[in-house]
Amino acid sequence: MVHQFDLPDSKLIYYERFLDAHRANSLFEKLFNEINWQQDKITLFGKTHLQPRLTALFSVKEKTYTYSGITMHPQVFPDYLHSLLIELNKEFDTNFNTCLANLYRDGADSNGWHADNEKELGKNPIIASISLGELRKFKIKHNTLKNEKLDFWLVPGSLLLMAGETQHYWKHQIPKTKKSVKPRINLTFREIK
């Protein structure tokens, strides 16, 4: 099932079953157990904290990626993740060369309001975000149109495509939850120019 959301200043498409359950579960297990995850420090409003999730960066280039004051050095793509990168580039006619993976260990792990608008992503970046593992809520809101906002659940095996001017006009987040939730991995494919 594909949902194209009718939102101003945005191109947001949600593919609810992009990966079948077997492939999504297998990919989750490999990433969870085999990847060298890291937890970086982030400074917000003058205070330094551990980032509330674990991350890993993969790239076909040896370029670092900097966001929120964190500079990440890429790992080499494992074959099973590189084949997914090639598949996405064919499917969406993109030039993805990098994947930022996020591991949300439980409900206390989150990603605050942000836009993927770093200079090295170009003017109108395309982000393909694949969800694996636990169901988590995704929230998006317009920067200036206060009534334009949307919340929905990201199911395992789903893909959310953010394109067009989305990163200029919208911010998104994965909020914390007090519910008991199992780990979730999010793969965000992007092109670093």
Model confidence pLDDT, tens digit, residues 161-184 = 999 999 999 999 999 999 999 999
pLDDT at 37: 96
pLDDT-based confidence at 66, cuts 50/70/90?
Answer: confident
- The answer on pLDDT for 68 being more than 80 is no
Q: What value, to the nearest 5°, has the Cα angle with vertex 97 and ends 94 and 100? A: 110
174: CB partners within 8 A, 6+ apart: 104, 110, 111, 136, 137, 138, 139, 186
Type of residue at 71: T
Per-residue DSSP letter, 92: H
pTM of the model: 0.93
pLDDT at 49: 79
pLDDT digits (tens, 9 = 90+) for 115-151: 999 888 999 999 999 999 999 999 999 999 999 999 9
Kindly report the average pLDDT of the chain as a whole number: 94
